[in-house]
Structure 1
Amino acid sequence: MAPHPDYPNASSFEDRHGRTRWRFRRNGKTVALPGEPGDAEFVAAYDAAANGRVLKKASVIRLPTAVEPGTFRDAWRKVKKTSEWLALDEATRLKNTTLAEEFLEMPLAPGLKEKWGDQLVRDFRRRHMKAVIASQIDTPHKAKHMLVAIRKMIYVALDEEWIEADPTYKLSYRPEYKGWRAWTEAERAQFEKRWPVGSAARTCYGLALWLGNRRSDVSRLKWSMFDFERRRVTISTKKGNKDLVLPITPMLLEILAPLDRSKEFVLLNAYGNPFSEKSLTGMMAHWTKLAGMVKGCTLHGLRKTLGKLLAESGSTTRQLMEMLGHDDIEHAELYSREASQQKLARDAMAKLSRKMSIKKAQEGRN
């Protein structure tokens, strides 16, 4: 036992593990002193013992918005401060936020209270990502986009040097993409027969079909975007914020000809106001129903119809991408692959038919 000259009644001793420890002893009472003499915690404990006080540890109150450093919640907060995140359009940010927050609140496994948001990113393994994807098997496209959202947190963890490798590296999830189906020629004829040029239904139909726009762009089309002298329209897409300069074709001119150009917006409802993008989906369902058409003829399906028509007319994948505003070549290739398959199949069967006809004719002569 070795008393300390600067701290009366404080002495050191060796515990059963051979480590040197300190304690305060006076009037038969012993108080353990943490750390080493001179340490802040040692001095605080010694002062309390010397003055007959009980040293109380400060209580830690966890705020509702607090996050543990290095967790997925911490990573998600940092994602929203990156330049890449701020450059995304509002719709994309909203979609990623919804999926990311769902992941953060997802339990590690069914029946467990622990959530992924409170787990350290460094403990995340490839098998965990596969399990998350598997849990979304009924909504495969949602699983694909959730992987994208989680990767944003993984990349932040790499930048912060919390981890040294991406556990999702080369982990791809590409569900079969079908999307909204294209309208058939008979369906287009049925709709056009019911809704004449000049009606809101036909205008919406024509804009979506001959410009290949999404509903978010169809609803925002203004006359100021159209340059009729140069026969072109300039559109800044809401999704992806891309500037597209598209031709005004004779088919589109037919749609626009009877419309009132004194208004700001091209497509107007019965009250003279522009449609909201969400209302257009319901209105197209209403218009097709009044035309006696089957379900499945959607507004977005007209965009796919244009892609199909372009591919069948021989347009290249690059031309399809520029016309429809696609960044992902995979989407544009859907149209060209389908058109190519039909053409190859038609040509192959034509050759076989000619061969069989020649063979039959030769057998007839013999």
Structure 2
Amino acid sequence: MTEDTDRRPYLSSFLDRHNTRRWRYRRAGKTIPIPGQPGEPAFEATYEAACEGRKVQPAKILAMPGAALPATFRAAWRRVLSSPEWLAHDPATKAKNIRLATEFLELPVIPDDPAQWGDMRVADLKRRHVKDILARYSATPHKGKHLLVTIRKMIYAALDEEWIEADPTWKMAYKPAYKGWRAWTEAERAQFEARWPIGSAARTAYGLALWLGNRRSDVARVEWSWFDFRQNIVTIEQVKGGKVLVLPLTPMLRDILDPLPRDKKYPLITAYGEPFSEKSLTGTMAHWTKLAGMPPGCTLHGLRKTLGKMLAESGASTRQLMETLGHDDIEHAELYSREAEQRRLAKDGMSRVTRKFRTLKPAG
């Protein structure tokens, strides 16, 4: 007997076949093994529980909010959030990337399995994994394209930290066909204008979106103070990219704005006298077009496309398109130019054919 067995009731010990001393609690024909050695936390907790007739409740391991295992995607994302490149992004770009990153970090590695990509080591990502992830977004390919951009931010952070030596997405081509929002036709614009007269919120939103050519994030927050009616200009600092645009105030927009009261901060307000939010403005425009009996596809952003199409068909250069619409990427502006140029060239070509081969109508 040892000192511990003498002063601890129902406790006994023995040597196992490896000559290691084992402990047990024996009472009323019931034996409970006691792990470890006297004085150790596990030993003391189990012995105390046995004396009190209860089971030992193992301590629960709770993940700290925001905790990340070393060299994982979650840890890489934390590096992204503190990088100079991230800090230079505008709020809209940050919000979009945070949304996509959160979705990826919580994405199951295998469907119906609790393991998430956020807890996987970046070094374990292979090209086949990336292709599998993109395949899950086959129904929304443009979202998949943006998700790949966000994943690459984490990969670049891992490269900077020397967790990996190569980018598994290097030269991975993923360019879904671009359709984008379509421009409104002349008939559709006439139909909307006939249903919503000047002075209505619908016509004001329509005029701001069409004749300023800006995104909904800018249209929803247009203020009267942005307009200089003496110089006939409007100054807009875009939410996306923070670019400052000074645009001419067209007579078409002035016709819409001049009759409006200016006792509020915003020209475009709800029935409660408050400005629209971005999302509510999109949904309300869909409601307005439906009430006007218009087909699907006549969207708020489509009015921005409409102005771009008008500019291109009027002969505006790619640079003029970029400076009017606020594009930094020349490829976006060239979409309008190419379409307008194709129409001009086709019309000119067919006119030449018609002049050469047309026949005179028979007399009488």
TM-score for both structures, normalised by structure 2? 0.79
CA spacing shift, 1:60–1:74, aligned 2, 3 Å: farther
Tell me the residue number matched to 1:36.
Answer: none
For residues 350 and 328 of structure 2, the distance between their equivalents in structure 1, rounded to whole angstroms, comes to: 35
Task: State the distance in 1 between where 2:355 and 2:236 align.
Answer: 48
Alignment of 1:1-366 (within 5 A): 61=61, 63-65=63-65, 66-357=67-358, 360=359
Distance 1:346 1:106 in 2: 50
Instruction: Give me the whole-angstrom Cα distance separating, in 2, the residues matched to 1:328 and 1:109.
Output: 37
State the 1:127 CA deviation. 2.2
Q: Whole-Å Cα distance in 1 between the matches of residues 134 and 220 of structure 2?
A: 35
**1:115-159 Cα distance to aligned partner (Å, 9 max, x none):** 222211112122221221122111101100100110110111011
Amino acid at match of 1:282: G
Task: Provide closer, same or farther for how the CA distance between residues 79 and 309 of structure 1 changes in structure 2, counting only shifts above 3 A.
Answer: same
Deviations 1:305-353 (A, max 9, x none): 0010001011122211111112222222221111111111111111111
Distance in 1, Cα, partners of 2:275 & 2:62:
48
Q: What is the deviation of 1:210?
A: 0.4
Q: Report the Cα distance in structure 1 between the residues aligned to 2:224 and 2:333, rounded to whole angstroms.
A: 28
**SS in structure 1 at match of 2:167:** coil
1:203/1:61 Cα in 2 relative to 1: closer, same or farther (>3 Å)? closer
Deviates more, 1:285-294 or 1:70-79: 285-294
Q: What is the rounded CA distance, in whole Å, between the counterparts of 1:30 and 1:194 in structure 2?
A: 94
What's the Cα RMSD here? 2.7
Deviations 1:153-211 (A, max 9, x none): 01110111111222212223221111221110011111112222222211111111000
Q: Structure 2: how far apart are the matches of 1:93 and 1:108?
A: 25
Q: 1:62: Cα distance to partner? A: 5.6
Partner of 1:19: none
Partner Cα separation in structure 2 for residue 80 and residue 244 of structure 1: 29
Partner Cα separation in structure 2 for residue 241 and residue 191 of structure 1: 31
Distance 1:226-1:122 versus aligned 2 partners, 3 A rule: same
Moved more, 308-317 or 167-176: 167-176
Which amino acid in 1 is paired with 2:80? V
Q: Would the alpha carbon gap of residues 336 and 57 (structure 1) be closer, same or farther in structure 2, given more than 3 Å must change?
A: farther
Query: 1:59-91, CA deviations, whole angstroms, 9 ceiling, x for partnerless residues?
Result: 994634432100111111221222222332333
Structure-2 separation of matches of 1:56 and 1:202:
74
Give me the whole-angstrom Cα distance separating, in 2, the residues matched to 1:111 and 1:290. Answer: 43
1:207-245 residue CA offsets vs partner (Å, 9 max, x unmatched) = 110000112111111111111222211111112222111
Q: Describe the shift of the 1:273–1:119 C-alpha distance in structure 2 as closer, same or farther (beyond 3 A).
A: closer
Q: 1:106 to 1:297 in 2, by over 3 A?
A: same
CA shift, 1:113, in A, is 4.0
Question: How many Å separate the matches in 2 of 1:61 and 1:193?
Answer: 65
In 1, Cα distance between equivalents of 2:288 and 2:109: 46
More off after superposition, 104-113 vs 153-162 = 104-113
Distance in 2 (alpha carbons) for counterparts of 1:249 and 1:179: 26
Give 1:111 shift.
4.9
Quick one: percent identity of the two aligned structures? 64
Of 284-293 and 226-235, the range deviating more from structure 2: 284-293
Q: Relative to structure 2, which stretch is displaced further, 55-64 or 160-169? A: 55-64
Aligned length: 316
Q: Distance in 2 between matches of 1:228 and 1:268?
A: 20
Q: Please tell me the residue identity of whatever aligns with 1:109.
A: I
CA distance in 2 between counterparts of 1:192 and 1:306 reads: 16
How far apart in 2 are the matches of 1:278 and 1:113?
A: 33
- Tell me the distance in 1 between the aligned counterparts of 2:77 and 2:42: 32
Deviation at 1:105? Answer: 2.2
SS of the equivalent of 1:234 reads strand
Secondary structure of 1:182's aligned partner:
coil
Equivalent in the alignment of 2:12: none
Point out where structure 2 has 5 or more consecutive residues left out of the alignment: 1-16, 21-35, 44-58
- Alpha-carbon distance between aligned partners in 1 of 2:213 and 2:124, rounded to the nearest angstrom: 45
* AA in 1 matched with 2:162: E
Query: Residues 334 and 57 (structure 1 numbering): CA distance in 2 closer, same or farther, change over 3 Å?
Result: farther
Q: 1:261 to 1:111 in 2, by over 3 A?
A: closer
SS at match of 1:102: helix
Which residue type is aligned with residue 63 of structure 2?
L
